[in-house]
Amino acid sequence: MDFIGHHVLSVDQFARADIERIFQVADEMQPYAERTRITRVLEGAILGNMFFEPSTRTRVSFGCAFNLLGGEVRETTEVKASSLAKGESLYDTARVLSGYSDIIVMRHPEAGSVAEFASASRVPVLNAGDGTNEHPSQALLDLYTIRKELEGQNRSIDGLRIALVGDLKHGRAVHSLCKMLGLFDHVEFNLVSPAELAAPADIVEALVAKGHAVNVWGDLQSGIHHVDIVYVTRTQEERFPSQEEADRYRGLFRLNQAIYTEHCEPNTVIMHPLPRDSRAQAQELDVDLNQNPNLAIFRQTDNGVLVRMALFALILNIADEIHNHARPVTWYTAKRTPRT
């Protein structure tokens, strides 16, 4: 696709070459995000960071990504603070807000709302999550993380073996990631979930049709045996038809260091879309994994900044201009460099 001036609404709009272009630009963002250099290429540009649903992490990540390119950020954080509550249409909101900034990032609780907003906007719009529908920059940062983690092991996304664990039925992040991985070659998917929360048939069928291997597992241990990546999402008890059914799975999808050591290959990378529920009863990632160097969950969020910088750079057509506006950082930055 041609990125310049275009909206980013769905992972479906990307071909493999587009993804590779985004990742190439994301790589170039590393020195700016890690503060060995700064760039002022977007000095004077304004991002409208419009969050009609709370999301601290995603909002701050987009905002910082724009600041790191030298631009300014104007924000909205609550639907009740907005005219939408007074019966204003998304069309009107888009026409008005797109007169204020150079580009808009938008989150909204309703599926399809961001695309509707974008169709009336006079500036490019990035979907930062529209309900159960899409959150394309999350899928891109997940895939970018997979690529970077495997690079260290001299592997690539082609031929990847991945376990997707947890609620595979409702998880927006998992669905988008599957679609994007499907664009690559010979990926082996290990789908690990309670039967009630299995991945939708259309997603599985599309992967099979493209020639990928799909294995379905009902327990964690079997699914994570021979994979490069374990991608865990929360298994929410309230998703089950009854508490009885939920009880059958209690504790079965929680990954901890002991299970990892016993069942995973030595360099298996652990991922999670975050936030992770760290309370004892949560079916996610145990805190005893925090010292595991293969826990990549915070590298994921760091990579999110790179990917979002890359999207801004490509859409606003300054990817090749960044280094012309660069200079060294003159303040203290040493603690940022070492990352586990």
Contact (CB, 8 A) for 53 and 299:
no
Q: How far is the CB of 9 from a copy of itself (least distance, A)?
A: 15
* Closer CB to a copy of itself, 39 or 133, in the complex: 39
Least distance (Å) between residue 129 CB and a copy of itself: 14
Instruction: Quote the tokens at residue 236.
Output: 């929410």
Chain centroid offset of residue 198 CA: 21
- Distance separating alpha carbons of residues 255 and 12, to the nearest angstrom: 31
Nearest CB to a copy of itself, comparing residues 36 and 215: 36
Residues 6+ apart with CB under 8 A from 99: 122
Report in angstroms how near the CB of residue 21 gets to a copy of itself at its nearest: 16
Shortest CB 211 distance to a copy of itself, Å: 36
> Are the beta carbons of 228 and 269 closer than 8 angstroms?
yes
Residue 17 or 329: which CB sits closer to a copy of itself?
Answer: 329
Q: What span, in angstroms and rounded, lies between the C-alpha atoms of 264 and 297?
A: 17
| Residues comprising the chain, all counted | 340
Instruction: Please say which residue, 40 or 155, places its beta carbon nearer to a copy of itself.
Output: 40
* Pairing state between β 269-271 and 326-328: unpaired
Q: Which two tokens stand for residue 255?
A: 């990954």
Angle formed by the axes of helices 56-68 and 297-315, nearest 10°:
50
| Closest listed residue to residue 147, CA positions, set 40, 279, 306, 320 | 306
Least distance between a copy of itself and beta carbon 315 (Å): 7
- Give the nearest distance from C-beta 84 to a copy of itself in angstroms: 8
